[in-house]
Amino acid sequence: MSNQTFHTVDRRKIIFSIILIFFAVSVFQLFKMQILEQVTYVEKSSENSVRKITLKPPRGIFFDRNFQILVSNKPSYSLQIIPANYNNAITPMLEKVLNVNEGYINNILEKKSGYSRYLPRRIKRGIDFNVVTWIEENREFLPGVEYVVEMQRDYSFGINGAHVFGYTREINRSQLEKYKGIYSLGDYIGIKGIEKTYETYLRGVKGYRLVIVNSEQKIIGSFEDGKKDKQPLKGFDLVLTLDWETQKKAEQLFKNKSGSLVALNPKNGEILAFVSAPQYDISKFSTVISKDFIQQLRNDPRKPLFNRATTSIYPPGSTLKMLVALIGLESGIINRYSTVNCKGGYQYGNRFFRCHGVHGITNVEKAIEHSCNTFFYKLILDIGLDKFANVARQFGFGKKTGVDLSEEAKGIVPDSKYYNKVYGKNKWSRGNLLSLGIGQGEFSVTTLQLAQYTALLANNGKTVQPHIVRGYLTRDVQELIPFEFKEINVPVDEEKLQIVKRGMYKVVNGEGTAKNIKLPDIKIAGKTGTSQNPHGKDHALFVAFAPYDDPQIAVAVMVENVGFGSSHAAPIAQKIIQTYLKSEHENKLQEALSLK
């Protein structure tokens, strides 16, 4: 073979080998891309082409009973970081601009680790517009940093309502697991109050927008002109039972006080005003809450986070005397003319239980009017413990009312079983009943329970489960769809109940313990009470309803550590009654004029 032929064959082999190697490498790369790394490249391809942006719906807003706004929404800027694109080197500069402590950003990113690095993390809500301007001016140096416009709660309508409205908070990992498919990272969820109870109505339905992005995740246009986008559905608006004027007045009256107030319509259980004091600044919860602020509230000795109207329990004091009187009348133990000679107290065994005065010959109406302890000491002994406890439960004591708020205590109604457990079987005496007869001892109630009890007295044993939301408005025609609440019926003899109510009328309009709040134009029936407090001054109590002949409002007031109910709680109830009846009259007048 000639040298020329040999070289020709050799070149062919080399060329063939090169082609073979190139072909093998190409086949391997295709195999790697299409088989081994298919998922990675599909994700990368998707990221570099179409991106789905979730559109979060605004939460439903709150109206009062007359459709005056109580809580709404307002636009706010939020700063977000996409970890996959973020450069940690810019963290110190970003924290300085945001005016947050060192480590703030890393702490948030670490808390939310375990989720896709391409999902945005909310770093701070409610950022200043100056921060937004700075981000725009320095966008090329801030990879992975962006701001979005979100809706946050607006509490600028003159009502605080912290313990009514509750608040929302960014959802945590355990809640995400519980509500998988409904919520996602960064969503807000109701935590307390109405926000929690009616979360499913308020949260709305998410939508989304499809956009085209480049390899750097910058949006370069909409996908198919937005034809496949889905608009979010706003949450349902709620119509509350609160009256703006009455709620505002109640909050003003409890400024610098500790205690609670519940006012409701005795005919239908609608809560007209609801205050737990001290309150906290609910507007702080519309943005990302700092640990320091939460800790400050928790460490506050006045405990502003605690809902005193539904979770604090106190002895009801003399406000319970109407119940004792009614049981005595219905059982036939006493009648309207039965009397006790009050000589300043009641002798039981070797102990003398004092009354706060010498009332002489006293019947049941006079006993309520002057709050005569002696009359009720004797009566409770004649009634007996278990009969008293059974009727007390019928009036809602010792159990939750079922109010549509997120927290509630049951209170305590002691009976034989309870005393056997506390003191030992048969190791307690009938003498324990004497304190119960005047609303002291182990008997404990919430302010809300007292309001419900007063409503039952006012409306002849009938009312509806206390509630603070009437219903929701449909999205289309804004039709009110009412919620249903159970009726409460306590079997009472109305003739005997009238005897008790006349006693309450005389408390204010006769020579009773609350004659200081008598009004010329509104007939109020009520009862003062003082709740013993072993840790300081007694708590002041007052329950009332008005007008006497056609009750439209029932009120329970509890003011902590101030002394007598007649001096501190009764004047508050008087002003609340005046405010509501005036407000209701004006609203009815305006409604009548609008129909002409």
Which pLDDT score, from 0 to 100, does residue 218 have?
Answer: 66
Q: 540 in a domain, yes or no? A: yes
Tell me: do 192 and 322 sit in the same domain: no
**Concatenated DSSP letters for 381-401?**
HHH-HHHHHHHHHHTTTTS--
Which pLDDT score, from 0 to 100, does residue 300 have?
Answer: 87
Tell me: do 234 and 271 sit in the same domain: no
Q: What is the dihedral angle through the alpha carbons of 561, 565, 567, 569, rounded to the nearest 10 degrees? A: 80
Number of domains in the chain: 2
Tell me: do 250 and 155 sit in the same domain: no
Tell me: do 140 and 267 sit in the same domain: no
Q: 526 in a domain, yes or no? A: yes
Which pLDDT score, from 0 to 100, does residue 319 have?
Answer: 97
Long-range residue pairs from 428-434, CB within 8 A, at least 24 positions apart, any chain: 430/381, 430/385, 431/348, 431/349, 431/351, 432/385, 433/380, 433/381, 433/384, 433/385, 433/388, 434/346, 434/348, 434/353, 434/377, 434/380, 434/381
Q: 427 in a domain, yes or no? A: yes
Q: Which residue has the tokens 């109305």?
A: 494
Which domain range does residue 580 map to? 244-280+305-594
DSSP 344: S
* CA-wise closest residue to 236 among 487, 402, 17, 479: 479
Taking only the tens of pLDDT, the chain with its 596 residues reads: 555 555 555 666 766 677 777 676 666 666 665 655 555 545 555 455 787 888 889 999 999 999 999 999 999 899 999 898 898 999 999 999 998 889 889 888 887 666 778 778 888 888 889 999 999 899 888 998 988 888 889 999 999 999 999 999 888 888 988 888 889 888 889 989 999 999 999 999 999 889 887 766 666 778 877 788 899 999 999 999 999 999 999 999 999 999 999 999 999 999 999 999 999 888 887 775 656 677 888 888 889 899 999 999 999 999 999 999 999 999 999 999 999 999 999 999 899 999 989 999 999 999 999 999 999 999 999 999 999 999 999 999 999 999 999 789 999 999 999 999 999 988 888 888 999 999 999 999 999 999 999 999 999 999 999 999 999 999 988 999 999 999 999 999 999 999 999 999 999 999 999 999 999 999 999 999 988 877 778 899 999 999 999 999 999 999 998 887 788 999 999 999 999 999 887 887 777 666 65
Tell me: do 96 and 153 sit in the same domain: yes
Tell me: do 217 and 252 sit in the same domain: no
Which pLDDT score, from 0 to 100, does residue 537 have?
Answer: 84
Which pLDDT score, from 0 to 100, does residue 385 have?
Answer: 96
Give tens-digit pLDDT for 11-58.
Answer: 667 666 777 776 766 666 666 656 555 555 455 554 557 878 888 899
Q: Is the peptide bond before 547 cis (omega within 30 degrees of 0)?
A: yes
Tell me: do 483 and 537 sit in the same domain: yes
Q: Please tell me the pTM assigned to this model.
A: 0.86
Tell me: do 258 and 172 sit in the same domain: no
Which pLDDT score, from 0 to 100, does residue 296 have?
Answer: 84
Which pLDDT score, from 0 to 100, does residue 31 have?
Answer: 62
Which pLDDT score, from 0 to 100, does residue 46 have?
Answer: 47
Which pLDDT score, from 0 to 100, does residue 150 have?
Answer: 85
Q: How many residues does the chain have?
A: 596
* CA-wise closest residue to 494 among 485, 502, 486: 502
Tell me: do 150 and 254 sit in the same domain: no
Residue pair 362/370 in contact by the 8 Å Cβ criterion: yes
Q: 287 in a domain, yes or no? A: no
Q: Which residue has the tokens 């349902």?
A: 236
Alpha-carbon distance of 322 to 32, in angstroms, equals 86
Residue pair 339/372 in contact by the 8 Å Cβ criterion: no
Among the candidates 185, 213, 240, a domain finishes at 240
What CATH number does the domain containing 174 carry?
3.90.1310.10
Tell me: do 382 and 507 sit in the same domain: yes
The helix/strand/coil state of 272 is strand
Q: 104 in a domain, yes or no? A: yes
Which pLDDT score, from 0 to 100, does residue 295 have?
Answer: 81
**Concatenated DSSP letters for 434-480?**
HHHHTT-TT-BB-HHHHHHHHHHHHTTTEEE--BSEEEEE-TTT--E
Tell me: do 201 and 273 sit in the same domain: no
Sign of CA dihedral 99, 102, 104, 106: positive
What CATH number does the domain containing 276 carry?
3.40.710.10
Tell me: do 273 and 195 sit in the same domain: no
